[in-house]
């Protein structure tokens, strides 16, 4: 599934002025590639990810993922899009503290309407892929930052989405953990899947197929 | 209930178990008190029913101007019983004297005095000892705390306890004292051959002039009527306690919902429906209230024994408790549910 973004504008009011973190932004990306959105804080990286994820509705412009015109979807269509088309890795892991690693991965599968047994099987498979099969029953608090980020990646891949979004995936990791996550992100980008990673960490440039510098617009 | 709602609801309960345990304790105590109040209220009905049933009468003939045989005193001639007995539909009739009185102790022990002919209508079936057959003999309810053989004075007359009955109290634990008709007439009417009511076996098809006949159901209603305000107050207190229970559940779930805002945002971001979030929180409320109701039932039983009044805890009351607790729990969870529903999934992208 290819990604096509055209004239994307997001605006909100801050006090008396209108702020536009994205103003007529456009980009294209092909399936099977890893796109790095580079830019400092406030450059609109996270806003763009929110639009790509069907979480934020832009003031103008369009986002198309494959045949799906995301910006034209209604509420139910967006819900379905978020379930089946997008997986998101958040900046601060955002794992559910009350659930084990396996249950965190199961959650999106269950949200998509699949049965518990299928969800448990998928979680075991993915945790195996990210090297955490032996930590499946641990809660996030018992995992290191790198391990939590791996669980977050596994959760993002739970419904085998064609679009993977990652927001500052290395922000809270130490040097050795960063290397592991870079390898993992690179490894999950396969034919049929597009990854868009927002970061200000230039170490991610080494795994990028495409770099979009948001500072330069 | 989807798998995700179950997973999210139960895991959060386990994760924050200390907080939920405190809420559970508070709710269980509140529900136990409401259950006791229900039992207290049901106790009035039970006492009235037992008292009327103990008299063994189908009809209660009283003065036409009287509201009933127990709450107002009207004086009938004792011999009226013979005329009532000849009315169509009546197979037997007997005079009875009933009045509130007190045993002469310090402090005085309030009792409900019933005087009836030995072995006739109005005389109770004793559970211990024998019936009162001669002047100066009395059968007392267990709540009078008198043993067979004990003596007591009432209106200056001395009585010996010859028998006991159980469950024959009125108006929230006032014990009934059964004596012979002659003794009751001496106490209440100064020895005049009068009665406050004529009890009938079978129901008369008509009334003698100046009298009316109440059914057992009407007599029971007459028994309870003076408690109308007390019953209404208990009902109001129960409603207030339901609100307290809902507030306890609601506040705990609301605080949890505030703390879980990020979690809700993440769940929405990966496509969790609002229905699943509502179900997860409603499940927590239902589980909490159900366990609290179970604990309340377990608590209420031993606590009921501490009350001097009759507390009637029935299966029906317990079932009602579960139903109302579930509704209150769900009502209490509304604020938390609303909080979860308004969370913007975009906040999942925020930093720590």
Residue A132's SS3 state is coil
The pLDDT assigned to B3 comes to: 86
The pLDDT assigned to A43 comes to: 87
Residue A91, chain B, CB below 8 Å: the answer is yes
Residue A103's SS3 state is helix
Q: Distance (Å, rounded) from C-alpha B270 to C-alpha B278?
A: 16
Burial call B44-78: b when 16+ CB within 10 Å, e when fewer: bbbbbbbbbebbbbbbbbbbeebebbbbebbebeb
Residue A120, chain B, CB below 8 Å: the answer is no
Interface residue of A45, A97, A117 to substitute, partner B, most B CBs within 10 Å: A97
CB contact under 8 A, B346 and A167: no
**CA A186 from centre of chain:** 13
CB contact under 8 A, B351 and A171: yes
The pLDDT assigned to B352 comes to: 63
- Region A95-114: mean pLDDT is 95
Quote the DSSP letter at residue A183. H
Which residues lie closer than 8 Å to B293 by C-beta, 6 or more apart? B28, B31, B318, B321, B322, B325
ipTM of the complex: 0.91
B351 closest CB neighbour out of A53, A92, A99: A92
Element (H, E) at A7: strand A3-14
The pLDDT assigned to B139 comes to: 96
Q: How far is A170 from chain B (nearest CA, A)?
A: 12
Quote the DSSP letter at residue A118. H
Residue A42 has pLDDT above 60, yes or no: yes
Quote the DSSP letter at residue A215. G
Residue A216 has pLDDT above 80, yes or no: no
Chain B residues near residue A172 by CB distance under 8 angstroms: 352
Encode pLDDT of B162-218 as tens digits. Answer: 999 988 889 888 999 999 999 999 999 999 999 999 999 998 888 889 999 999 999
Q: Distance (Å, rounded) from C-alpha B254 to C-alpha B167?
A: 46
Q: Distance (Å, rounded) from C-alpha A28 to C-alpha A194?
A: 11
Tokens of A27: 């980009």
The pLDDT assigned to B318 comes to: 87
Phi first, then psi, for residue B62 (nearest 5°) are: -135, 170
Residue A89, chain B, CB below 8 Å: the answer is no
Which residue from A102, A76, A105 is spatially nearest to A89, judged by alpha carbons? A105
CB contact under 8 A, B271 and A96: no
Which residue from A58, A217, A101, A93 is spatially nearest to B350, judged by alpha carbons? A93
Q: How far is A105 from chain B (nearest CA, A)?
A: 11
Angle at B187 between CA B123 and CA B149, to 5 degrees: 60
Q: Mind spelling out the 3-state secondary structure of chain B?
A: CCHHHHHHHHHHHHHCHHHHHHHHHHHHHHHHHHHHHHHHHHHHHHHHHHHHHHHCCCEEEEECCCCCCCCCCCCEECCHHHHHHCCCCCCEEEEEEEEEEEECCCCCEEEEEEEECCCCCCCCCCCEECCCCCCCEEEEEHHHCCCCCCEEEECCEEEEEEEEECCCEECCCEEEEEEEHHHHHHHHHCCCCEECEEEEECCCCCCCCCEEEEEHHHHHHHHHHHHHHHHHHHHHHHHHHHHHHHHHHHHHHHHHHHHCHHHHHHHHHCCCCHHHHHHHHHHHHHHHHHHHHHHHHHHHHHHHCCCCCCCCCCHHHHHHHHHHHHHHHHHHCHHHHHHHHHCCHHHHHCCC
Quote the DSSP letter at residue A207. G
A94 closest CB neighbour out of B2, B3, B262: B262
Which residue from B11, B258, B4 is spatially nearest to A155, judged by alpha carbons? B4
**Which stretches of chain B score pLDDT less than 70?**
1, 351-352
The pLDDT assigned to B207 comes to: 86
CB contact under 8 A, B348 and A94: yes
Interface residue of B18, B349, B350, B352 to substitute, partner A, most A CBs within 10 Å: B349
Looking at the DSSP bridge assignments, the partners of residue B346 are none
**CA A91 from centre of chain:** 9
**Strand B174-180 to B109-116 pairing:** parallel
CB contact under 8 A, A113 and B14: no
CA distances from A83 to A66, A80, B337 (A): 16, 5, 22
Q: How far is A3 from chain B (nearest CA, A)?
A: 19
Chain A residues near residue B268 by CB distance under 8 angstroms: 55, 82
Encode pLDDT of A60-81 as tens digits. Answer: 999 999 999 999 999 999 999 9
Residue A128 has pLDDT above 90, yes or no: yes
Is the CB of residue B196 less than 8 Å from the CB of residue B96?
yes
Chain A residues near residue B349 by CB distance under 8 angstroms: 46, 49-50, 55, 90-91, 167
A107 closest CB neighbour out of B7, B12, B351: B7
Which residue from A56, A54, A53 is spatially nearest to A12, judged by alpha carbons? A56
For A53, nearest residue in chain B (alpha carbons):
B269
Q: How far is B256 from chain A (nearest CA, A)?
A: 12
Residue A57, chain B, CB below 8 Å: the answer is no
Which residue from B103, B238, B111 is spatially nearest to B173, judged by alpha carbons? B111
- Region A24-29: mean pLDDT is 93
CB contact under 8 A, B270 and A92: no
Encode pLDDT of A139-154 as tens digits. Answer: 999 999 999 999 999 9
Place of tokens 């408690």: B227
CB contact under 8 A, A111 and B271: yes
CB contact under 8 A, A119 and B3: yes
Which residues lie closer than 8 Å to A146 by C-beta, 6 or more apart? A173, A174, A176, A177, A180, A181
């Amino acid at each position: 599934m290819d990604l096509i973004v055209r004239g994307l504008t997001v605006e909100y009011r801050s006090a008396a002025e209108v702020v536009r973190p994205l103003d007529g932004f456009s980009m294209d990306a092909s399936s099977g590639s890893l796109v790095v959105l580079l830019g400092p804080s406030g450059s609109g990286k996270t806003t763009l990810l929110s639009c790509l994820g069907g979480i934020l509705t832009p003031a103008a412009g369009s986002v198309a993922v494959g045949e799906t015109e995301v910006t034209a979807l209604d509420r139910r269509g967006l819900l379905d899009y978020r379930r089946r088309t997008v997986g998101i890795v958040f900046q601060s892991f955002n794992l559910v503290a009350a659930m084990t690693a396996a249950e965190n991965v199961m959650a999106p599968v269950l949200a998509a309407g699949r049965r518990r047994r299928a969800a448990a099987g998928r979680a075991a498979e993915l945790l195996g892929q990210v090297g955490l099969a032996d930590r499946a029953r641990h809660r996030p608090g018992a995992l290191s930052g790198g391990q939590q980020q791996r669980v977050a990646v596994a959760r993002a891949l739970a419904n085998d989405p064609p679009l993977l979004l990652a927001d500052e995936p290395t922000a809270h990791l130490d040097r050795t953990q960063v290397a592991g996550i870079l390898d993992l992100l690179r490894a999950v980008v396969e034919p049929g899947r597009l990854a868009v990673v927002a970061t200000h960490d230039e170490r991610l440039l080494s795994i990028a197929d495409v770099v979009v510098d948001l500072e330069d617009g | 209930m989807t798998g995700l709602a179950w997973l999210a609801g139960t895991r959060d309960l386990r994760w924050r178990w200390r907080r939920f345990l405190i809420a559970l304790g508070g709710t269980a105590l509140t529900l136990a008190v409401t259950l006791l109040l229900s039992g207290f209220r049901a106790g009035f009905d039970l006492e009235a029913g037992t008292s009327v049933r103990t008299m063994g009468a189908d009809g209660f003939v009283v003065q036409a101007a009287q509201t009933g045989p127990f709450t107002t005193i009207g004086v009938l001639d004792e011999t009226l019983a013979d005329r009532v007995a000849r009315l169509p539909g009546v197979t037997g009739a007997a005079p009875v004297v009933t009045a509130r009185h007190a045993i002469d102790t310090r402090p005085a022990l309030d009792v409900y005095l019933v005087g009836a002919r030995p072995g006739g209508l109005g005389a109770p079936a004793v559970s211990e000892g024998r019936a009162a057959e001669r002047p100066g003999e009395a059968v007392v309810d267990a709540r009078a705390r008198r043993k067979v053989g004990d003596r007591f004075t009432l209106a200056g007359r001395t009585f010996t306890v010859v028998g006991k009955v159980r469950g024959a109290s009125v108006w929230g634990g006032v014990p009934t004292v059964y004596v012979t008709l002659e003794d009751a007439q001496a106490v209440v009417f100064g020895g005049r051959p009068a009665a406050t009511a004529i009890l009938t076996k079978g129901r008369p098809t008509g009334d003698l002039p100046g009298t009316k006949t109440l059914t057992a159901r009407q007599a029971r209603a007459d028994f309870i009527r003076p408690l109308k305000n007390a019953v209404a107050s208990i009902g109001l207190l129960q409603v207030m306690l339901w609100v307290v229970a809902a507030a306890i559940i609601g506040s705990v779930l609301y605080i949890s919902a505030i703390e879980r805002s990020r979690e809700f945002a993440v769940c929405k971001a990966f496509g969790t429906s609002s229905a699943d979030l509502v179900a997860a929180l409603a499940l927590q409320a239902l589980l909490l209230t159900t366990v609290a109701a179970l604990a309340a039932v377990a608590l209420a039983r031993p606590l009921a024994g501490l009350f001097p009044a009759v507390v009637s805890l029935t299966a029906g009351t317990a079932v009602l408790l579960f139903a109302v607790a579930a509704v209150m729990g769900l009502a209490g969870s509304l604020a938390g549910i609303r909080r979860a529903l308004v969370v913007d999934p975009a906040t999942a992208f925020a930093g720590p």
